Amino acid sequence: MSVAEAPVEARVGAQVETGEPMSARILRFVTKTPVYFVLAFIGLLWLVPTLGLFFTSLLEPAAIGTTGWWEVITSPSLATIDNYREILDNEAITSSLWTTLWIALGATILPIAVASLAAYAFAWLEFPGRDWLFIIVVALLVVPIQMALIPIFSLYNDLGLFDTIPGLVLFHTAFGLPFAIFLLRNFFIGIPRDLLEAARIDGASEFRIFFRVIIPLGLPAIASLAIFQFLWVWNDLLVALTFARDTQPITVAIFSQMRQFSANIELIAPAAFISLAIPLVVFFLFQRYFVQGLLAGSVK
Amino acid sequence: MSESASTVEAPPRGLPPGDHEPGLFQRYGVALIFLAPTLVLLGVWVVYPTIRTIIRSFYDRDGDEFIGLDNYETLFTDDTLVTAIKNNFLWLLIVPAFVTAIGLVFAVLLERIRFSVAFKVVVFMPMAISLFAAGVIWRLMYEKDPSQGTINAGIAVVKDAVSPSGVLSAAQPSTEALQGGPEGGLVLQKPLAPGDVAQLGLTGIRSSDVPADAEQAVVPEALAGGITGVVWRDFKPGGGVPGQVEEEELGLPGITVELRDEDGRTITETQTETDGTFAFEDVEAGPYLAAIGPDTFSEPYAGVSWLGASLITPAIMMAYVWVWAGFAMVVIAAGLAAIPRDLLEAARTDGATEWQVFRRVTVPLLAPVLTVVFVTMLIYVLKVFDIVISVAPGSVQDDANVIALAMWRTSFGGVNDFGLGAAIAVFLFLLVIPILVLNVRRFRREI
């Protein structure tokens, strides 16, 4: 499915073909105008909720609760960055942002490292029961996170991993593995066999082949996976809500303010906006990989 | 993506045979090293807990006593949990189909235009943000007060355009001459005949509620064969005489005045001018009653209670569709791009209408992609959690409950019944399995 993007571009290109009389082009534009309007309207509809959060986060505290966010557009004097200043002075929020970052980075790097090793073994090493083991690993995709929460909660309390960054990283890593292995193994197996054979004949060890051949060639798949995993972990609420108390990622920090939603909007709105701005930046920077990964992932 | 989980290529040839038969470790040791971290992580964090949870579900809340299937019985009898299961089935019935349909519509519309990238990005954007942040966003959208909640503000605008809400909801008669209430309107007690001038004084109007275009109230001239009058704010700062139009008292524009017959039936109605005056021309003889119409006193729009117990589930579903429509659109658009143009052209050449082409050619060819989207949504919807817990205020979480939320609330949300929580988790697990089996079978068939 990951090749599907190319035809889209090719087709868009094909439509621009010239040689067609101007009148025909104008006619086509006119007949398509309603479609443009409908799409512009839907696009606006889709944009408004996020804009609403953003403008609400700009309202001065006195205005929150009495003024709708849309009034900022007509009277910009209502807007202030004080809420953001408050947030960034707020020790609890800043430390939870760092916590989120460490968890997300750790839980992206670790599963990719572990999964590429396993994926290589499943793709190119020979050992008994290989195919069965691969099927079992992929089958673990079925297991909902909920199945692990209670026993791991008890285990973490015994091991002292409760409310720690490593505890959260390890949990996310384990649950990220089946999909990561599935994706990478299918990508690695497409690497031309000759490349590996040549390296083996030259006497390269499996580790050398792994680091010098597989990883460089597997980078596109690894990049897709990394973006997905990063966003997944950054955006997580369930796991963090269960295993974190004081070492809170940002989602949990905001969530704990939501009991008094209306009273805390001046804190919730900017914090929520910061927490979603980072994934948005990642998304815009790596859109291409994101869509590829999505198309691959939807086949799982 | 050319391989399925079950059709694995023949194992590649290993090292060229050496001089001596290598030992077991030398042959498989490398593979073991590559696999060891995976096996440990999956063993400790996935396999062991799964088994443990299944066993735990047969024990009581403290884990001391084996109670057989009691937890499962509770799961299907407890009110909150039954609501959760019912709600989750509603989610399964409505949301995947709806998301797939919207994705299809968007993808087809996109096909027809050139500058589709901006639209794609905008609709796809919610996918990148967390379901939790989406929950915060929609919690704001759904605020009940139309001056706060975007959705209710939008409805208020439409509603005001159709039937303007009465700005004078708190207005009272200034004298005894005017009687009545918000339901029937305020009626001038003295019957009127043509040539009379009616004075309808109101008080209890906040100055902020007086329409901006109001001018000094004027008592109109009597009109032969007609009835005239004035509706005004019978309040003079510093005191005045009730029932008399005085300096500094403003007319009330835009008020509906009804002319009624003796039995109280409305014969005709008119609107007041900026100075509060109104006139009914050419009325026949006979006693009439003048009244200020009830819509003048209608309460301002209070807003739909989206976050109340009855609408909370549909409200969360809408938010969820907002998040996932982009996913459906992108996957379906990719599928659409892969359909051979010749097929569509051939159908058009044969005289098929656009609708027929869509219905008979495009949709059948897209069926596999539509299934992928639908089934993916089924799995996600079954496990929906973040957006429910963030949109639904604590007081309505029982009404908005779904299985994953019930599992978390039972286990960690204060009740701390690990036995019942484990049973809910197992139930969720059992529901996911058939969908995934379906997915894998479909997947194998396609390869």
Give long-range contacts, CB 8 A cutoff, 24+ apart: B111-118. Answer: B111/B333, B111/B336, B112/A32, B112/A35, B113/A32, B113/A35, B113/A36, B113/A39, B114/A12, B114/A15, B114/A16, B116/A12, B116/A39, B118/A43
Between A and B, how many CB-CB pairs are < 8 A? 300
pLDDT at site B3: 39
DSSP B22: P
Considering only the beta carbons, identify the residue of B28, B50, B335 that sits closest to A147. Answer: B50
Distance from B319 to chain A by nearest Cα, in Å?
10
For helices A82-89 and A22-58, angle between their N-to-C axes, nearest 10 degrees: 60
User: Model pTM greater than 0.95?
Assistant: no
What domains can you pick out in chain A, each with its CATH number? 2-80 (no CATH), 85-297 (1.10.3720.10)
Do A151 and B338 lie within an 8 Å CB cutoff?
no
Considering only CB atoms, A294 lies closest to which of B2, B130, B327, namely: B327
Q: How far apart are CA B10 and CA A90, in angstroms?
A: 58
Whether B320 has a pLDDT exceeding 60, the answer reads: yes
d(CA A178, CA B377): 19
Domains of chain B: 70-154+306-446 (1.10.3720.10), 172-297 (2.60.40)
Residues B392-431 have pLDDT tens digits of: 998 899 999 999 999 999 999 888 999 999 999 999 999 9
Q: What is the mean pLDDT of residues A228-238?
A: 93
Q: Give percent above pLDDT 70 in chain A.
A: 88
CB A238 within 8 A of CB B130: no
Q: Quick one: residue B351, left, alpha or beta (phi over 0 = left, psi -120 to 50 = alpha)? A: left
Q: A-contacting residues of B 116-175, CB under 8 Å?
A: 116, 118-119, 121-123, 125-134, 136-141, 147-148, 150, 153
What per-residue confidence (pLDDT) applies to B442? Answer: 64
Residue A13: pLDDT band by 50, 70, 90 thresholds? very low
Q: Do the chains contact at B109 and A38, CB–CB below 8 Å? A: yes
Establish if B371 touches chain A: CB-CB under 8 angstroms: no
Please indicate whether residue B41 or residue A287 has the higher confidence score (pLDDT).
B41
Find the mean pLDDT for residues B238-254.
82
Residue B176 neighbours by CB under 8 Å, 6+ apart: B189
pLDDT digit string (tens) for B185-197? 888 888 888 888 8
Collect all residues of chain A within an 8 Å Cβ-Cβ radius of residue B32: 127
Query: Which pLDDT score is estimated for B13?
Result: 46
Residue to mutate among B3, B33, B38, B420, with most A CBs inside 10 A, is B38
pLDDT digits (tens, 9 = 90+) for A131-182: 899 989 988 988 999 999 999 999 999 999 999 999 999 999 999 999 999 9
Q: What is the dihedral of CA A180, A183, A184, A187, to 10 degrees?
A: -170
pLDDT, tens digit (0-9, with 9 covering 90-100), for A195-231: 888 888 888 888 899 998 899 999 989 998 998 899 9
Return the number of other C-beta atoms located less than 10 Å from residue A148's C-beta: 26
Establish if A163 touches chain B: CB-CB under 8 angstroms: no
C-beta atoms of B113 and A36 within 8 A: yes
Least Cα distance to A139 among B6, B85, B378 occurs for B6
Chain A nearest CA to B214, separation (Å): 25
